[in-house]
A and B are shown apart, each in its own frame.
Chain A
């Protein structure tokens, strides 16, 4: 149990386009989801915390207009990278918080390459 599906696993796009990444908790309800960014050979940097039905809370230094987060249901959160530029190229990982277990379960990540 506790499976988190993240899609797509890899995306290549042209500079200036927008990219949407989906994060789904398949077998549990996640009131809280998290979005991270990971640079090569670095740790995970929390970008934002997403609560179902409310606005996401962004970490300091993360542009909320660049990284749009929607958490429309207890099983789905989306991250949209708007007007992507090469510097947005990175590995993005989502996770879902499971209330009863006090644990985050992670998706497999999305490799974004902006040309």
Chain B
């Protein structure tokens, strides 16, 4: 069975500072991994995904994540936070079995301080 753990339900950073949102997963088979962002009262927008190949994945809005199998991690980073990055971020894991079923983490609310 798969599971996802997001450490830190709330993260605050200053504008211009590094953003680091943590995600650890558990999966018995090589997983697909995703980061989504949700703004208030909106659906989820895909930031980036890892399926196979290069372990450092670049996404939209300057975000990137690195798949580390040895650490079972897929942390999300951005070098310099912007006020518009304030939102809820979800990490998700999927097993490439054709069902596309996701297991979501509990989410991390990012607050950007001026």
Contact = CB atoms under 8 A, between A and B. Distances in A.
Top 4 A-B pairs, shortest CB-CB distance: A97-B100, A106-B43, A106-B44, A108-B43
Contacts of A41: 109
B101 A109 contact: no
B34 interface: yes
A97 B36 CA distance: 15
B90 A104 contact: no
Interface residues of B, number: 23
B96 A102 contact: yes
Nearest to B6: A43
Interface in A74-114: 91, 93, 95, 97, 102-109, 111
Chain A interface residue bracket vs B: 20 to 34
Interface of A: 4, 6, 32, 34, 41-44, 46, 49, 91, 93, 95, 97, 102-109, 111
Given A97-B100, A102-B32, A106-B36, A42 B43 contact: no
Contacts of B43: 4, 6, 93, 95, 106-109
B83 to A, nearest CB: 21
Given A6-B43, A103-B46, A111-B41, A42 B34 contact: no
Given A103-B49, A107-B43, 19 more contacts: A34-B100, A41-B109, A42-B106, A42-B107, A43-B105, A44-B90, A46-B101, A46-B102, A49-B101, A93-B44, A97-B100, A102-B32, A102-B51, A102-B96, A104-B100, A104-B102, A105-B46, A106-B36, A109-B41
